Chain A
């Protein structure tokens, strides 16, 4: 072995030598690992969680939602008023400059909104921006945003995915240039980008002093993409990394037991659920079009144990198809407790005393799906399990339909039921239920500006989904963050790490 290694060392000498960046508090650099390759840093042209994380640090929105209290405060806007249901006026903050020195004013807001609202420009997540029609400049520091239709969640979106870009720079470089050399007003400015693999950020010294985000504290952020968890952990042990996240539950537990790192766990807005082909797209009269079969499946799976043994942390069983903290997420719905005996009886009643066979699809968390199929097997439901790539499963669902699948949904971290239940039960191509009643109720809830009325109609829809067991909500996810004990950081439920809120102890 030694011989081999010596040999390898000799060839490797041919390569340029360079020292690895020194990590830690002493050099004021936080070394961070991403698991997935980010396609484009331009926040309007990626749909990855990693992109959202960078977006919050590099850019600012007009409004800011405090992740701990949930309150909205002004960021690039100082205050705002609704002129009517579809017109929003905002006063802008003065004295803010972009990282490249360009001063911020109404022109930037107008240019950004008009660019992203135009469908032709192909913003990746249309939903984030397609509620806006246009923006107009009223004064140098006052803008008006026109909506297409009444959209109650507008403020939430302005506080989230809608980042404001420098108009002159963006006109010049476009999404590709912005992706390679991002420029914003945010607390961190980008030093270098190697697409997909390496991002270096540094504290923006001129960050506007009154920002509700607070001032950035850590000097440098060095973010590398390392796909394999074991490699990430090895880097953490050897000091090459200071902060990792999305650590699987068992590993987080073991890392915590070592005592040399801080392990923080926080619930996220992502929920897991089973879809059933209630509309009969895989064959009219297939077992899943029967309410009794869907209820049997719901009773067969021990969600509590799955949460306790596999997801751990702050995960919870969910019974309603939305994340509990979302506006309108009715909690008082029919629940299906673990009861294999009852499941068998329901199956017999539905006409399957000897059990049945179902194709079961999933795209992630193979182990959770595997545990579920173990439970189904126990009540006599044999499953043919198929794990597909996300895009392949989605396509199959849209084109031919799938009998049953394990899916997850993160609601874009939007704290409103319109981002969860309304996404899937309004006759879209992924609506496997196609229930007119639910669609009508959700239409009312989504477009009303009266909070009480919205609540009432979301409640109706969610109750019906649970009663009919159209889909089975399973559990909420949680995220584990493991980092050096020198770091002061408390994760938030939206699973968006905000680097500007981290500091050295």
Chain B
């Protein structure tokens, strides 16, 4: 994974930076694999209504738990079989991609906004602001995430909104930590001190000098936290306190399939594998972006 970056560094008079970046990206297998898979899942989610063979909410209690087509009892009518209420598994899986992506995406954005604001403020202003933010990060890290999420969801009742907000409010710590140290490094850079010297406003310095330079780090953490949020939602659903039915969330499908684990293992395997592939793709994408954007970390 690191061979491409190593050769690039010695090349001084080669292609333009843009070209270098592109060849790095294309040469990075993990990154390519991750982005292609993620892209496919996103396309599936967007075009779910066109791709789904059935209505994902249509139930038929007389056609419950039909195995997928590769099983002797399966049929082409329900390629991935039906669930415990006779709903088409493939259609639910396709619609479920929307839910998982929404949970991961929105939770990561919420926590990203919170964490970045705190981190940048701490790094840029330093002093009391920094102390205060560091303190908040410590408090946040000391709280057991799963327990607190469970307790909050138990109080407010599980729904897509509640789960997304709870996860968004709980997962900002990594953003704050990384953004703080990245900003701290930038603050003493010449171009920032120069901007200060010529009297640029704080707002302008933060948005046009600092933010563009920490965007790389930000994207990497967004991917990590997205994956984290998706897995946490699945764990909450597994413990019975996640997204509410009939919403076809993959976490919920896993928890429903769990009931029949020993007898109809495909029921938990199909959404489980989907979840695994999605999280894997997002992680590979994140790792790849880190490799490509920050080669110094790898040497």
Which A residues form the contact surface with B (CB < 8 A)? Answer: 229-230, 233-234, 248, 250-251, 254, 302, 305-306, 308-310, 366-367, 369-371, 373-374, 377, 385-389, 392
15 contacts between A and B (CB under 8 A): A234-B262, A251-B260, A251-B262, A254-B262, A254-B264, A302-B61, A306-B61, A309-B86, A367-B85, A370-B246, A373-B246, A386-B157, A387-B244, A392-B155, A392-B157
One of B84, B258, B264 near A230 (C-beta < 8 A)? B258
The DSSP consensus for interface residues of chain A is helix
Q: How far is the CB of A174 from chain B (nearest CB, A)?
A: 32
When the two chains form their complex, are residues A385 and B260 in contact, meaning their CB atoms are under 8 A apart? no
CA distance A308 to B256 in the complex (A): 20
CA distance A388 to B158 in the complex (A): 8
Closest to B158 in A: A387
One of B158, B245, B262 near A370 (C-beta < 8 A)? B245
Closest to B263 in A: A254
CA distance A233 to B264 in the complex (A): 14
Closest to B86 in A: A309
Return the CB mask of B254-266 against A: 1 if under 8 Å, else 0: 0010111111100
Closest to A254 in B: B263
Return the CB mask of B136-164 against A: 1 if under 8 Å, else 0: 00000000000000000011011100000
When the two chains form their complex, are residues B57 and A366 in contact, meaning their CB atoms are under 8 A apart? no
CA distance A229 to B257 in the complex (A): 12
Q: How far is the CB of A307 from chain B (nearest CB, A)?
A: 10
When the two chains form their complex, are residues A250 and B245 in contact, meaning their CB atoms are under 8 A apart? no
Return the CB mask of B240-274 against A: 1 if under 8 Å, else 0: 00001110000000001011111110000000000
CA distance A389 to B156 in the complex (A): 10
B236 part of interface (Cβ distance < 8 Å): no
When the two chains form their complex, are residues B61 and A250 in contact, meaning their CB atoms are under 8 A apart? no
When the two chains form their complex, are residues B157 and A305 in contact, meaning their CB atoms are under 8 A apart? no
CA distance A250 to B262 in the complex (A): 11
Residues of B within 8 A of A389 (CB): 154
Residues of A within 8 A of B64 (CB): 309
When the two chains form their complex, are residues A250 and B260 in contact, meaning their CB atoms are under 8 A apart? yes
The number of residues on chain B lying at the interface, defined by a beta carbon within 8 Å of a beta carbon of chain A, is: 26
Q: A392-B154, A392-B157 are in contact. Are A377 and B57 (CB under 8 A)?
A: yes
Residues of A within 8 A of B244 (CB): 385-387
When the two chains form their complex, are residues A371 and B59 in contact, meaning their CB atoms are under 8 A apart? yes
B65 part of interface (Cβ distance < 8 Å): yes
Closest to A387 in B: B244
CA distance A367 to B61 in the complex (A): 11
B198 part of interface (Cβ distance < 8 Å): no
Closest to B87 in A: A374
Residues of B within 8 A of A250 (CB): 65, 84, 259-260, 263
When the two chains form their complex, are residues B259 and A371 in contact, meaning their CB atoms are under 8 A apart? no
When the two chains form their complex, are residues B154 and A309 in contact, meaning their CB atoms are under 8 A apart? no
B50 part of interface (Cβ distance < 8 Å): no
A sample of 16 more A-B contacts (CB under 8 A), given A251-B260, A367-B85, A377-B57, is A230-B261, A233-B262, A254-B262, A254-B263, A305-B62, A309-B64, A310-B84, A367-B84, A370-B85, A371-B59, A371-B61, A371-B85, A374-B59, A374-B85, A392-B154, A392-B157
One of B58, B159, B259, B264 near A248 (C-beta < 8 A)? B259
When the two chains form their complex, are residues B57 and A374 in contact, meaning their CB atoms are under 8 A apart? yes
Return the CB mask of B164-175 against A: 1 if under 8 Å, else 0: 000000000000
When the two chains form their complex, are residues A309 and B62 in contact, meaning their CB atoms are under 8 A apart? yes
Q: How far is the CB of A16 from chain B (nearest CB, A)?
A: 28
Q: A234-B262, A392-B155, A392-B157 are in contact. Are A385 and B61 (CB under 8 A)?
A: no
Residues of B within 8 A of A388 (CB): 157
Q: A305-B61, A371-B85, A392-B154 are in contact. Are A366 and B245 (CB under 8 A)?
A: yes
Q: How far is the CB of B155 from chain A (nearest CB, A)?
A: 7
Closest to A385 in B: B244
One of A229, A306, A309 near B259 (C-beta < 8 A)? A229
One of A251, A367, A374 near B263 (C-beta < 8 A)? A251
When the two chains form their complex, are residues B259 and A251 in contact, meaning their CB atoms are under 8 A apart? yes
Residues of B within 8 A of A251 (CB): 259-260, 262-263
Closest to A375 in B: B59
CA distance A250 to B112 in the complex (A): 43
CA distance A366 to B252 in the complex (A): 11
Residues of B within 8 A of A230 (CB): 258, 261-262
CA distance A377 to B57 in the complex (A): 9
Q: How far is the CB of B212 from chain A (nearest CB, A)?
A: 43
Residues of B within 8 A of A234 (CB): 262
CA distance A306 to B62 in the complex (A): 9
CA distance A321 to B135 in the complex (A): 57
Q: How far is the CB of A58 from chain B (nearest CB, A)?
A: 31
Closest to B154 in A: A389
CA distance A254 to B264 in the complex (A): 9
One of A254, A377, A386 near B159 (C-beta < 8 A)? A386
CA distance A386 to B64 in the complex (A): 24
CA distance A191 to B57 in the complex (A): 52
CA distance A369 to B261 in the complex (A): 22
Residues of B within 8 A of A302 (CB): 61
When the two chains form their complex, are residues B260 and A374 in contact, meaning their CB atoms are under 8 A apart? no
Q: How far is the CB of A261 from chain B (nearest CB, A)?
A: 13
